[in-house]
Structures are given as C-alpha cells and as structure tokens.
Structure 1
C-alpha cells in the first residue's frame, strides 16, 4: 500500500512539473521580441542598410513588440534575407533573453559595368545590382553587358587580389573577340591585355616592366604596352 502511494505521489509530481514546464514554455513563446540586432560581417561599405534588414527581420510588422516568438518563422526570415540582391549570406536566431539577431554578409563587387545598363560583377562572378546607399571603388568596365561580362572575371578578380594592380588599374575595355585593354590611374599609354588567357603570367610581366621602366624614368615614353603574347612585353614608343 505504501509502495503504491509512493508511485502515485511520484506520478503526480511529474505531472505537475510537466504542467509548469509547458505553461512556462507557452508563456515564453508568447512574449514579444524585445530587440532586433543586426551585425554586418563587413561594416565598412553598406550596400544594404540595417533599416532594410530590420524590415525583413520583422516581416513588415509595425513594431518588434507586435511579434511573438511562436509566430516568428526563423526559416522564412532567413530565406527573405538570403533572397535580397545585396546579401550573400544571413543567419538568424533568437537569444534566450528575447533578442532577434542576424549576422549578415554582403555581396562584394569587384568591377562596375558602365553603359546602357550599369551593374556590378561580384567576387563570385555573378551580376550584382548597384546600391542606392554606397558606390564601390572598383575598376570600371566598358563595352560589357550581362552576357559577356563573366568572360572577363578572371582578369578583374586577379586585379582585386593584387595590391599593386588595385592601385594602378582603374578600368577595363572590351574589344572585338573578347579582347581587352586596361586603363591606368597615372599613365596615359594603352595597356593591351588580349584575351583572358595566362592572366597571372601577363600581369607578372606587366609589374616587372612597370617597375623597371619607372626606375629608368622611361615610363612616360610609351604610347602602347602589349601583354597579349604572354612570354614577353612588346612596347611602342611615342
């Protein structure tokens, strides 16, 4: 009898604990979001603002407090953020104290197409729209459109990764047959690159030529520098 009574007490205790836990969990979920926090992994250049991200996070509700945790769909919020044209990746989560937080990585442009239609080429070789909030300082690309811009990706991406080239090259022009010439910041000679093959070799040759010509005070004597042959630099004097 005493053993049966002990079992009954234990079952009642478990039931009470489960009831209290369920009540607390329901109350916790029904509470509104106390705060929205947005963190950008790259905070220098904001192609999308915190305000824009906030609106996506709260799913166009009038205020954060009007959303309860049970109603909030984190998967949908993440999806909306990741579908934004300026966002590369977003992770969204709720903290124990009721904060809705998002870690946002923006897309990174490496070149800007200028022409009838203007857009960026991003670090992944994909087309990226211009931002109304920030204009990237990247090489300008002339003579390109959405169909042929990716063919120059290897050239633009190599420039982005090299400090010397980023300092000196400000533009790329597309010519017939997907051949390219480059514009320099400080020099007025034409830098003919040719096609997009042997990118590393051509740029290494150019850097060696540039430093040698500058050291010998001959850099201003050329009107054209041709890199298309890969294994040599062919120069035409003024």
Structure 2
C-alpha cells in the first residue's frame, strides 16, 4: 500500500514539474528577444563544402534573421526542416539558451566523388547518399563520368572509389573514372595516356593488387608511354596492349601475376 502511495505521489510531482516548466518557458518566450545566433558546422569531412560564414549567409538567404526579434515569433522547427532538406547536411539542430541566444549545429556530409553525366551531375557522400551540387560550393574529389546510373554510383563504383580514396598511393595516382556504354569501368591516371580497364566484376582489391605488381615488374622496363591499355578484368593477369608507335606493337603482352 505504501509503495502504491509513493508511486502516485511521485507521478504527480513529475507532472507538476512538467506543467510548471511549460508555463515558465511560455511566459519566458513572450517577453524575451533573440540576443544572437551562434553557428557550428560539425562532422568529420575530408572535403568540407561549407564553413560557418557560408551557413550564416544561407540562413539570411532563407530569411532567417532572428536577432532582436521576439523568440515566440521565431519558428525554429520550420528552419530546422529547411536545413535538413539541404542535401549537404546530414542533420541540423537549432535551440535557444535561457539568455535568449540561439545555437545552430549542422552536421555536414563528406563528399567522396562526383558523378558527371550528360543529363545531370551529383556528388556521392561517404554514407552512399546523393548530394545535389551547388554552384557556390565545390569539393576537390575524384570525378566519375559516362554512363553511370545511381545504382552503380552508390554500389560497386562506390566500393571501388572508397578503396582508392583510402590508399594514398592510388589517390595520387588516379585522376578520373570513366564508364562507357559497355559498362567496363576505366581508370585514368594523372600521368600519361594509358587507360586502365578494371572491368565490371567488383573484385576491386585483387585487381588493384595486380595492377601494382604490373607496375613494379613491367613499367620500369617499358615505361608508361608504351601501353595504350591495361586490362585487369581477367583473373591473375594483366593484358597490356601497346600503342602503335611502340616497338612492341601489335602484340599484346599477357603478364601473369603469380
């Protein structure tokens, strides 16, 4: 019986506290004006799109200028929703301190690469989501062009580019990715004119390992200018096709990787 009485008493105490809190903040917001706004851009990103000043400028563009205005006239929920609709952000939180100061924290997405197609372009972030490009902001990421449907961009191509971006050697080596009509993914180095056909079967780690072995064995002997294409599509081998100007032409070299 005593336990039941204590339970009921505790319930009404909590209820009274919540009611008093609501009344307090209701009265509080009626008479208090916004004393300022602090913006914080959170999230660990390699390639940041926006700085604090960029977010503040976008808030003004959206018509959010709360300084000096009564807090009960500021629709925080509506502004949060507008910010969350921005594909640059993973989340947004806007709250007010007892002194009337507003605090905004936005978590920025991390762009991994940019897809350029004939009909559209977009970034793919490190969480496989799409970021709609903004002409005011650009990220120095790997470019992927050609016939790239969204399923490829957020699927096996994402996995390949993640491997490249996680390895400093490959990050510095490759400049671009190209996908022609046949769906065979082609990697373009920063130096030379050799096209590296990595194919469409997603055993990317094995293929990049074979490419590294080929570079260690053959490139010191022949040089990059010798080969027009390196085909990594076949298991445990690299098929190297020379340029017509090469002494090795027209024979293609099949180099085993074992």
Tell me if the contact between 1:37 and 1:100 (Cα under 8 Å) persists in the aligned partners.
yes
The CA deviation at 1:183 is: 0.7
Find the residue that maps to 1:137 and give its secondary structure. Answer: coil
1:41-190 matched pairs, under 5 angstroms:
41=42, 45-47=48-50, 49-55=54-60, 60-68=63-71, 70-116=72-118, 117-147=120-150, 149-150=152-153, 151=155, 152-190=157-195
Corresponding residue pairs, total: 217
Moved segments of 4+, more than 6 Å: 22-25
> Following the alignment from structure 2 to structure 1, what is the Cα–Cα distance between the partners of residues 216 and 73?
63
> Following the alignment from structure 1 to structure 2, what is the Cα–Cα distance between the partners of residues 23 and 89?
29
Given candidates 213, 220, 227, the residue that maps to 1:208 is: 213
1:192-224: CA deviation from partner (whole Å, max 9, x where unpaired): 010041011112222333344455563333221
Q: Which runs of 5+ in 1 are unaligned?
A: 1-18
Find the residue that maps to 1:101 and give its secondary structure. Answer: strand
Tell which deviates more after alignment, 177-186 or 132-141: 132-141
The CA deviation at 1:85 is: 2.2
Q: Over the residues paired in the alignment, what is the CA RMSD in angstroms? A: 3.1
> Following the alignment from structure 1 to structure 2, what is the Cα–Cα distance between the partners of residues 137 and 64?
35
TM-score, normalised with respect to structure 1: 0.75
> Following the alignment from structure 1 to structure 2, what is the Cα–Cα distance between the partners of residues 24 and 149?
50
Given candidates 227, 233, 245, the residue that maps to 1:228 is: 233
- Which position in structure 1 is the counterpart of 2:242? 237
Q: Which runs of 5+ in 2 are unaligned?
A: 1-19, 244-258
